[in-house]
Amino acid sequence: MDTFPCPLPEGVKQNVLNLGVSKRYLIDLPHSGLRTESILSEDELVNLCTEACNKAIKKARLSIKDIGYFIAAYDVNPFLSPGLSQLLVPKLGFSPYVNHVNVQGFASTAFPKALQLAENYLAAHSSDFALICVSGVSSYWFQSQVQGIRKVMEIGQINKIKEEAKRLFELRKWIAAMQFFLFGDGVAAAVVANGTEGLLVKKIVEVTNLRKKDYMAGYARLTGTREPFRFGFCSFLGKEIPNLGAEYTGLALKELLGTNYERMIKAVKKWVVHTGSEKILNTLAEQHGIEHDKLEESLYILREYGNLAGASLPFILEKIVSGKKLPEGDLVLMVGYGWGFSAAACLLEAI
């Protein structure tokens, strides 16, 4: 809190503590007071992704030449185009002819979507290996947008402002402050194959935009300015997100589990739930009757790393599988939800 660009009122400090985040790791971004345009470097993002991918390939006892399909999932990249996969192909030592794809804008549901793409590829190339890289690096958005803020008001004060434009501007600053403390940086990578060990992906279900304007509950978008060659950035997190998350995940889970819903919910050994915030995790736990010990890895990742966007699910999953080995047949439920507005549910089984 001491490093924030301006002093924070006690009420705002309490809002930050209520997020459930005690630590987070950030890539090294330059914070200068220059008012001139500066070009953000992609080096730190690319280096972190490269490290994660190389570790995954090594752990799978493979080489880059064994990978037939490369999926890069991300939200933030200093380059709007080319995509992250194009930047990583030469860095990782892939052939320039490798089959690759970018998955952008799926946020917390990026990992299930990437698994779906890998599954489709492996159905046609049964002996191949697919490499997934999920970037949860959000510093380019959330660390940069608070620079220059000189005052953040408490929510109670903001709600009393009668002038709509001023109220919305102060709300934007409050949201920017919450995002500054909530979102950490991390990258996860996984090798996917048709095999007889590890975790089996049994089924994936997605649901998005039940109502036409649900996507406005949370977003990041460009804004225009009056100056040539300049664009602004605006992000928003609505207070309805916890309830929307509970609604959307409930529908995704019922579609995933079907008539066996209640029995399967009880049979699940571990839950992998996106680290939106502590309030969101508690809301989902109450909604679905999730016992604390089945959710402890999700709470741990939130506390130690913050909200890692799309990388949160594989971070939690890795925490589960790196501990005590899951007995064969144990079920794991993975749930992501958020910006879109979307939710995805995935049923995994230890084999």
**CA nearest to 128, candidates 119, 136, 138, 139:** 119
Q: Which pLDDT tens digit goes with each residue over 107-116?
A: 999 999 999 9
- Strands 129-135 and 187-193 turn out to be antiparallel
**Number of domains the chain is built from:** 3
Q: Do 228 and 101 reside in the same domain of the chain? A: no
Last residue of a domain, one of 182, 215, 247: 182
Q: Do 213 and 314 reside in the same domain of the chain? A: yes
CATH code for position 331: 3.40.47.10
| Structural domain containing residue 56 | 43-138+185-195
pLDDT at 29 over 80: no
Percentage of the chain lying above the pLDDT 90 cut? 72
Amino acid 326: pLDDT: 85
Q: Do 236 and 341 reside in the same domain of the chain? A: yes
Q: Which pLDDT tens digit goes with each residue over 220-248?
A: 998 888 888 888 888 888 888 888 988 99
Q: Which pLDDT tens digit goes with each residue over 162-194?
A: 999 999 999 999 999 999 999 999 999 999 999
How many Cβ atoms from other residues are within 10 Å of residue 293's Cβ?
A: 10
Q: Are 331 and 348 in contact (CB under 8 A)?
A: yes
How many Cβ atoms from other residues are within 10 Å of residue 216's Cβ?
A: 12
Amino acid 127: pLDDT: 95
Q: Do 146 and 79 reside in the same domain of the chain? A: no
Residue 34 confidence class, pLDDT cut points 50, 70, 90: low
What average pLDDT score do residues 150-162 get? 94
Q: Do 149 and 262 reside in the same domain of the chain? A: no
List, in order, residues 6 or more apart from 106 with CB less than 8 Å away: 73, 75, 113, 310, 340, 342
Q: Do 133 and 144 reside in the same domain of the chain? A: no
Q: Which pLDDT tens digit goes with each residue over 283-339?
A: 888 888 888 889 999 999 999 999 999 999 999 999 999 877 788 999 999 999 988
Amino acid 32: pLDDT: 52
- 27 occurs within a structural domain: yes
Amino acid 30: pLDDT: 57
Residue 35 confidence class, pLDDT cut points 50, 70, 90: low
Q: Do 191 and 96 reside in the same domain of the chain? A: yes
Residue 61 confidence class, pLDDT cut points 50, 70, 90: very high
- 301 occurs within a structural domain: yes
Q: What is the pTM of this model?
A: 0.92
- Highest mean pLDDT among 40-44, 67-71, 193-197, 265-269 belongs to 67-71
- Strands 331-338 and 342-350 turn out to be antiparallel
- 2 occurs within a structural domain: no
- 283 occurs within a structural domain: yes
